Structure 1
Amino acid sequence: MLAPKLPKALEAYLEEEAQSPVKREYLRGRLYAMAGASALHNRVALNIAARFLEAARPRGCRVYMSDMKLRIRDEAVYYPDVMVVCQPGPPHPYYEEAPCAVVEVLSPATEVQDRREKRALYETLDSLEVYLLVDPEARRFTLYRRTPEGFAEEEGEEALIPCLDLVLRAEEAFRL
């Protein structure tokens, strides 16, 4: 009989992940290997990151793609497809903790996780202004925007990214 796997401490995960040949996300002590992404997924994420980078540089903001971790307290560590951080640098060289914008490009394997689990945790970040879900098949956006009453859901072909003072248009994201 196999012994049950015990939850891993966050600090142990972070040390191991810096040396791991396989990217793994962390959720409350459990590790989840990440699947590879399609060519379409990568092109869409790169288009968005490139557009964000143009707007970020003059503001002193940083734009990351899927190799930079986002730490959410001691609960979770994810690799968002695109992340924007406009606050001063973090104390750790391998993760950020205070993004103003997070983007996930949907895929059939991750859509439920992106819409529920990640959204719930991302929205607990005080710094987060927008969480953008990008559907490459439907060529549409679902944006969760912070309001005084909480996060409001918006759907369409444009997404306002306040910390970059940028309106991202679908044709920019889905240009192939």
Structure 2
Amino acid sequence: MGNAASAQRMSATEYLEWERAQAAKHEYHLGEIFAMAGGSPRHNFLSSAMGAELRAAVRGKPCHVLSSDQRISAKQGERYVYADTVVVCGGVRMEPGASDVLANPSVVVEVLSPSTEAYDRGGKWGAYQRIPSLTDYLLVSQVSVRVEHYRREADDSWRYRVIEAGGSITLANGATLPIDAIYEGAFELDAG
């Protein structure tokens, strides 16, 4: 998750006000603030590639692709996070009383890093699962051509698939992403 940014605990309202004035990003969980580390060139490339491929895949659909700067409400007043890429379908809805906190992500993408992988698979994934609008969660590997895809089923369970070279990701909204296009050129860059 990152290191605690402050020993002082904050309320959610205090965090949101404080965070808006910060140059770096911080996540919030039950009063604690955690600094988010910058990514390696490969991490940043894969995040951008996912955004570009998602944008192409949802063109013509009522969806918007947002960058890693978009704060997400994982649970109002308790948990605020940032993802590497976010897709919102059916209109962007902000948390009540805020103009910069997304309440209804449809697709969340996390590019896995050694320092955040356990968090992305654990506590952060647990928080994402409770967002009613979320239909797809994608975990993108930096060490091989591999994307793990969790897709919400009609009974509210999650289906898990691994997509590797030559495959494609099909999102709940019907958009398809060719995995080779996402990774094209990625391994020419340092993973840090």
1:45 aligns with 2:51: no
Kindly report which structure 2 residues correspond to 1:1-176, keeping only aligned pairs within 5 A, or say none. Answer: 5-72=7-74, 73-91=76-94, 92-147=98-153, 148=155, 150-157=157-164, 158-163=168-173, 165-176=174-185
Aligned counterparts of 2:156 and 2:26: Cα–Cα separation in 1: 34
Shift of 1:149: 5.1
- Partner of 2:69, secondary structure, is coil
The list of structure 1 runs, each at least 4 consecutive aligned residues, that deviate by more than 3 angstroms after superposition, is none
Shift of 1:74: 2.1
Deviates more, 1:152-161 or 1:4-13: 4-13
Cα deviation, 1:21-72, whole Å, max 9, x if unaligned, reads 1210111111000111000011111111011112334223111111111112
Count of aligned pairs: 172
Q: Which runs of 5+ in 2 are unaligned?
A: 1-5, 186-192
- Cα distance in structure 1, aligned partners of 2:145 and 2:128: 23
Distance 2:55 2:14 in 1: 32
| Percent identity between the two aligned chains | 31
Gaps of 5+ in 1: none
TM-score between both structures, scaled by the size of structure 2: 0.84
Please, what TM-score do these two structures have when normalized by structure 1? 0.91
What is the Cα-based RMSD across aligned positions, in Å?
A: 1.6
SS in structure 2 of the partner of residue 121 of structure 1: helix
- TM-aligned CA distance change 1:11 to 1:149, over 3 Å: closer
Would the alpha carbon gap of residues 149 and 66 (structure 1) be closer, same or farther in structure 2, given more than 3 Å must change?
Answer: closer
